[in-house]
Amino acid sequence: METRQPPQPVAAPPVGHPIGILAELTHRCPLRCPYCSNPLELERREAELDTATWKRVLSESAALGILHVHLSGGEPTARPDLVELTAHCAAEGLYTNLITSGIGRASGMIDALSEAGLDHVQLSVQGASAETGDRIGGYKGGHAAKLEFARKVTDLGLPLTLNAVIHRGNIHEVEDIIALAVALKARRLEVAHTQYYGWAYVNRAALMPARPDVDRSVALVEEARRRLEGILVIDMVIPDYYARYPKPCSGGWGRRTLNVTPTGRVLPCHAAESIPNLEFWSVRDRALGDIWRSSPAFNAFRGTDWMREPCRSCDRREMDFGGCRCQAMALAGDAAATDPACSLSPFHARVEALATEEAAAVAPDYIYRTIGGAPGKASEGAAS
C-alpha cells in the first residue's frame, strides 16, 4: 500500500496553534513497565471518554490546525473503537501514529487499522532479547509477540518506528536493539533514555544507569548512525540527570502539543498533573480550542514571562524554555524553578550526585505499573 509522508511541522509561535495531540485513549495495558509515563493513579475503563466525544475532539484538533495525532495509552488497541477513530482521523486529514506495545489485540487489529488509513506505527521494545524484554515488561511471551506484530506492520507497507526506553536493566543491549531494528525493517529507532516521571520516578533507583554505560551507549548510537545512514534513522534522548542543559520539554509548555487523558482532561504534557494547584479543563465541558487558548494550566508556564533567574536572563531561554516544569517540581519542589537537569540550576550538582549514588547501589526490585495497585509495594523483578 502507499503511505503518506508526515506533514512537516512548522515552528509554532508562543501562543500559536498546536501541531500535535497525544490522545491517551486508555490506561489499560497488558504490559507493566516500571518506567511507564502514565500517572500512578491510572484511570479505569468505566471512566474513559466514549467514541462520540473522541470523534468530536479529533475534529476539533483538525480545526485547530493540528497535523499529527498520536493514538496512545496504555495500549490503544484495548479500545474496540480504535479502527473507527483512526478512520475518523483519516477523514479529517490528520496524520495518525499508533503508539503500541504490539501485544493483546494489536496483531488482530492491524489489518483493519491499515485499511482505515493508519499512517505510521511506533512499537515499543523493552530489550533485544526475550529474557530481558519479558522481565522488564512483566509479561511472558511479550517480546515474541512484538516481533510477530512488527513483521505484520512492515508486510502491510506501514512505516515502523521502534522505541526502546533505555535504563540500567537493558543498557547492555543497545547494540543488539539497533541490530533488531534493522532486522525488523524499521525506518526509525528511538533510543530513549528513561525520563524520570510517573512510574519511572518511583523506580528511579532500579533504573538509573551508570555514567560510563550511558557514555558507551551514546558512542554506540553515534557509530551506528554513520554506519546505517540511508537504512535506519536513530533518534536519541540522553538522560536528564547527566545532561548539561535540559531538553525543551514537550517543545515548550503550551506551545506545540497537548495531551488528552482517557477521561478527557487536557494537559500541556503527560506529567502535568504532578504539579499541584494547576487547573486542568476537560473536553467534556469545553471545546479543545478554548482549552488550548484559555485554560489556566496552559497559561501557567507559557512563553518566558514566568521565568526566574537564571533562566530569565539566559540566552537559551527560548531554546529550552527552562527545561521541564514537572522535573523542576519533582526535584526542586517548585514548578517555576530552573529544571535541575540544567548545569546552571543550584540543584544540578545534587541531582547528578544522586544519580551517581543510585547507579552505584544494588538495584532494588521493580515496582511494576498496575491499575489500582499501591505504588509503595514492590513486586518481583521478574515476569509473571
| Sign of the dihedral through C-alpha 340, 343, 347, 351 | positive
Q: How many CB atoms lie within 10 A of CB 265?
A: 20
Based on CB atoms, which residue is closest to ligand FES, 54 or 197? 197
Rounded-to-integer distance, Cα 98 and Cα 323, Å? 27
Q: List the single partner that 311 binds among ligand SF4, ligand FES, none, CB under 5 to 8 Å by kind.
A: ligand SF4
Options 76, 209, 322, 340; binder of ligand SF4; rule CB under 6 A:
322
Contact between 49 and ligand FES by CB under 6 A: the answer reads no
Instruction: Give the shortest CB-6-to-ligand SF4 separation in angstroms.
Output: 28
165 binding ligand FES? (CB under 6 A): no
Q: Which is nearer to ligand FES, 72 or 114 (CB)?
A: 72
Nearest distance, CB of residue 97 and ligand SF4, angstroms: 28
Q: Which of residues 341-360 bind ligand SF4 (CB under 6 A)?
A: 342, 344
Cell representation of residue 244: 548539561
The minimum distance between CB 272 and ligand FES, in angstroms, equals 5
Q: Work out how close the CB of 240 gets to ligand SF4 at its nearest, in angstroms, rounded to a whole number.
A: 11
Q: List the interface residues with ligand SF4, window 223-262 (CB under 6 A).
A: 245-246
Positive/negative CA dihedral, 123, 129, 133, 134: positive
Crossing angle of helices 211-227 and 174-183, in 10° steps, is 30
Q: Considering the complex, what minimum distance in angstroms separates the CB of residue 318 from ligand SF4?
A: 8
Q: Determine the 3-state secondary structure of 198 from DSSP.
A: helix
Mapped onto helix, strand or coil, the DSSP state of residue 347 is coil
Radius of gyration of the chain (CA): 20
d(CA 146, CA 123): 8
Binding-site partner at residue 128 among ligand FES, ligand SF4, none, CB < 5 to 8 Å by type:
none
Return all residues near 359 (Cβ < 8 A) that are at least 6 apart: 168, 208, 209, 210, 211
Q: Kindly identify the residues of this chain, within the stretch 302-361, that bind ligand FES according to CB under 6 A.
A: 324-327
Least separation in angstroms between residue 186's CB and ligand SF4 is 32
- Ligand-binding site membership of 33 (annotated): yes
Cβ-in-10-Å burial (0-12, 13-18, 19+) of 157 comes to exposed
Q: Which is nearer to ligand FES, 91 or 336 (CB)?
A: 336
Q: Which does 325 bind (CB under 5 to 8 A by kind): ligand FES, ligand SF4, none?
A: ligand FES
Does 310 engage in binding with ligand SF4 (CB under 6 A)? yes
Q: How far is the CB of 337 from ligand SF4 (least distance, A)?
A: 9
List the interface residues with ligand FES, window 182-211 (CB under 6 A).
Answer: 197
Question: What gap in Å lies between CA 213 and CA 209, rounded to an integer?
Answer: 7
Going from the C-alpha of 184 to that of each of 148, 152, 158, the distances in angstroms are 10, 10, 12
Q: Is 36 annotated as a binding residue?
A: yes
Give the E-state strand segments of 90-187 in sequence order.
95-100, 120-125, 160-166
What ranges in 82-141 are assigned the alpha helix state H? Answer: 82-91, 106-116, 130-137
Residue ranges at the known binding site for [4Fe-4S] cluster = 29, 33, 36
Residue ranges at the known binding site = 29, 33, 36
The residue ranges that bind ligand FES (CB under 6 A) are 197, 249-250, 253, 269, 271-272, 324-327
The residue ranges that bind ligand SF4 (CB under 6 A) are 245-246, 310-311, 314, 316-317, 320, 322-323, 338-339, 342, 344
